[in-house]
Structure 1
Amino acid sequence: MNLLHVQQKIEYLEHALKKITPHVIFLCAKMHNLSPKELEVIAIIASGTRFKDIARIDNRNIKTLSAQKRSAYLKIGVSNDVEFLHYIYWLSDKAIYATNEN
């Protein structure tokens, strides 16, 4: 993989993350009946913050955060972070489209 290809992927991910608003995360949680803790965990993932940092700041167990993530992903129907971010990006596009339609 060359440097240009890596740079393009980084730029794509930066663009995708900027489109993910708290509204879209809340919409996802509501659509999939996520618990408040599951909502918190997917918001952490979408923000790009590492579990290790959250665990240290909030004095929470990484295993607990991981279990909440697995539970949320099961409800959403994704199996990893990449699928989740693609789904949120897609949902963000749909939310923007619906807003522009009205």
Structure 2
Amino acid sequence: KAGISKTFTTSNELIPGQAIMMNLVDGPFKTLRGGWIFTALDEQACKVELKLEFEFSSKMIEMAFGKIFNELTSNMVNAFTKRAKQVYECYEY
């Protein structure tokens, strides 16, 4: 927010009907892995979770970006939910 920025790149793998997994390719992390997990609840519903494990490459980067990254993940979940509502609102179950 204070004029500094970082980017990161992940490799993503779709496991149809189960998950979208991601692993760090490049960025300010020592480790970053996880993904979107889809758990069937019944024929017409599923639970969606974003699970991430991460460690920044240094304490200084963690201090600068830790809170921002947590906000980013929250924004990702909100964006996913909003898009799912747009896509599936026309379906009646």
Structure 1 length normalisation: TM-score? 0.32
Q: More strand per residue: 1 or 2?
A: 2
Structure 2 length normalisation: TM-score? 0.34
Q: More helix per residue: 1 or 2?
A: 1
* Structure with larger RCO (C-alpha < 8 A, sep 6+): 1
